[in-house]
Chains A and B, each alone.
Chain A
């Protein structure tokens, strides 16, 4: 009896164990994705390791970890070089982001809430711009910027960024605002709120999440842009944004050609966005995975 019980229990346990093993094996994608992520991150890991090396250490052993690290030296040097670029990028990205959010949401509000002659036509005109690739407008845009006297000023970046960012912003915001319940606005109007108060105090707060998505898209695209700043401010080092500065750093002309310093510069210039992402990753991931993004 006891023996039979034990054997049943044993069998059950082995069955259970097999089930558990099967369930774990069935989760092989976890391992594969993990390996993929490791490979995706590997270059940055190598960059961080190299950023702690002096030139001599790098020549002896380029990729291994050798102590002591010289992070304090490489980063101190890189910091002096890169900080002006980071500040320029912060100015350009922040201001253009504010501009896009303000003017874009204003236009979206008008499109979403009012009926007026030419509404459909004007909105279609904005939608059509989604089909215009940047490469088509590059040459004439440069000519226009030059003839407006914006060449080699920060405005050469700010104004086109604000204009260009609004296309996507108006498109996303209008769809969202049109879905807001009209009763909110009607009752506010009854209470004597002006249309501007309706926009500022009702529509904008309700759109916070989509405004956040628009803001992140704008910051990412302006932060990463290399070619336009290179073209319009390439000769003015005090205006260089991060991509232009890093390109110059890698192509020489700078005093510090140590590879450790260069890598430290790369790491430093990635930090502001990593910090931003740390606070907004949920918004960003959810914005992308909330569905609805398809053709």
Chain B
């Protein structure tokens, strides 16, 4: 997502140069153009801008649908950290998820992409690329439900496999045990290859000038040396994109938990997103839910900006 802000101000050859004779006149001349933008912005205002502003505004209220809202200042935010054990615990799960997904979207795609990159046959290369993307088109809910079945305590695939290799002692109801449930969810999706992330990294590798790679080979660099000193700096931009995508996804993540455990057993798999849903829609504390949403937004913002600043790509 190379955002070219520089291009925004470029004057287009076929366009009229902006005259200095009054903004009103120019606006009037451009009226038909605004007309074409209306459908887009109408939708954005109703379903994105207004909800975003409303979320921040209502996070200072005690609020539920159909009831008068009551301004309570920062109380919702204070409650989150002082009066809500489940929310604080859910933050721990969120950080596990974030750390794992950050790893899963950078290191693993890097390794897999380098392996595909090393394949000589073009036909195989293309086949592998398609194979990587194939699991991405299975409805995610199907994937969750299949893993629900894999972890099942009585008929599950994982327990059957463990029995088969003589580790029957390890079998358990993976999602029913508060000690294993969150880990079972986090490590679902074996072998943890994110096809889209892999293809993004692979695109970066393929964009590297072939001469650079040949030169490093001529200098006697081994493949591993080349990966660290040539490839890695050149695909930092792709890895960063994957990292930001992973963080945005991880902080908000709750669908998989909603499907697999609904936060249980005994709230051991609760994450902030799911707690937000429960607070707002089941416990009718929509102001409080909005506050959780705002908090998650701030976390995403901080982590993203931190990423952009710390990992400067070289172009």
Closest Cβ–Cβ distance, residue B140 to chain A (whole Å): 5
Cross-chain contact B155 with A259 (CB below 8 angstroms): yes
In the complex, identify which listed stretch (A10-18, A42-50, A70-78, A200-208) lies at the interface while the others stay far away: A42-50
Known A140-B54, A288-B199, A292-B2; judge A30-B238 contact (CB<8 A).
Answer: no
- B140's nearest neighbour on chain A, judged by CB, is A224
Contact flags (1/0) for B197-241 with A, using CB distance below 8 Å? Answer: 001101110110000000000000000000000000001011011
Q: Tell whether, in the assembled complex, residue A133 and residue B252 are in contact, meaning their CB atoms are under 8 Å apart.
A: yes
**B26 touches A (CB below 8 Å):** yes
Contact present for B40 and A139 (CB under 8 Å): no
B308 touches A (CB below 8 Å): yes
**Given known contacts A178-B7, A274-B137, A277-B134, A166 and B40 CB-to-CB distance under 8 angstroms:** yes
23 example contacts (A-B, Cβ-Cβ < 8 A) are as follows A40-B193, A44-B138, A62-B160, A106-B39, A107-B40, A113-B14, A114-B15, A115-B17, A133-B252, A133-B300, A136-B293, A140-B51, A142-B281, A144-B54, A164-B47, A223-B139, A266-B142, A269-B139, A270-B142, A273-B139, A284-B133, A289-B129, A293-B238
| Interface residue total, chain A, C-beta cutoff 8 A | 100
Residues from chain B with a CB closer than 8 A to the CB of A289 are 129, 199-200, 202-203, 206
A138 and B293 form a contact (CB under 8 A): yes
Query: Is the Cβ of A294 less than 8 Å from the Cβ of B2?
Result: yes
CB atoms of A144 and B141 under 8 A apart: no
Find B276's partner among A39, A110, A124, A138 (CB 8 Å cutoff).
Answer: A138
Q: Is the CB of B40 within 8 A of A103?
A: yes
In chain A, positions 71-88 with a C-beta closer than 8 Å to chain B are none
Most buried by B among A120, A170, A284: A284
Segment at the interface with A among B81-89, B116-124, B173-181 = B116-124
CA separation between A146 and B26, bound complex, in Å?
39
Check if A250 sits within 8 Å of B145, measured CB to CB: yes
Q: Is A252 an interface residue (CB 8 A)?
A: no
Identify A231's interface contact among B39, B276, B281, CB under 8 A.
B281
Contact of A27 among B16, B120, B157, B254 (CB under 8 A): B120
Which chain B residues border A132 with CB–CB below 8 Å? 48, 52, 297
A293 and B191 in contact, given A137-B55, A143-B286 (Cβ under 8 angstroms): no
In the complex, which residues of chain B have a beta carbon less than 8 angstroms from the beta carbon of A44?
135, 138, 146
